[in-house]
């Protein structure tokens, strides 16, 4: 997902659906870049990933432009 989370109306619902369709061990890659007006900070994206049973694999970039990769683990309540 490149600058997607700030564009969707319901990020938690989106993450629930991504978790549902991604294979166990599958990788979700999220990129955010300023000056996107809907920029999501690393802190906010990490919190969202943790809430939906994704484990962070690595982070590339910095505060203003980054890509965060995470793996699917476990299951999420409906």
Segment 3-61, tens digit of pLDDT: 999 999 999 999 999 999 999 889 999 999 999 999 999 999 999 999 999 999 999 99
The answer to whether residue 78 is domain-embedded is: no
Q: How many CB atoms lie within 10 A of CB 52?
A: 20
The answer to whether residue 3 is domain-embedded is: no
The answer to whether residue 28 is domain-embedded is: yes
Return the SS3 of 65: strand
The answer to whether residue 60 is domain-embedded is: yes
pTM above 0.85, yes or no: yes
pLDDT for residue 76: 60
Number of domains in the chain: 1
Domain of residue 26, CATH code: 3.40.50.150
The answer to whether residue 58 is domain-embedded is: yes
- Beta strands 27-33 and 65-72, pairing class: antiparallel
- Domain extent for 28: 11-72
């Amino acid at each position: 997902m490149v600058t997607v989370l700030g564009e969707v109306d319901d990020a938690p619902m989106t993450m629930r659906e991504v978790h549902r369709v991604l294979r166990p061990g599958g990788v979700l890659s999220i990129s955010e870049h300023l000056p996107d007006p809907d920029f999501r900070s690393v802190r906010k994206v990490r919190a969202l990933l943790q809430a939906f049973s994704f484990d962070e694999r690595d982070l590339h970039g910095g505060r203003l432009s980054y890509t965060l990769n995470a793996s699917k683990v476990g299951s999420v309540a409906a």
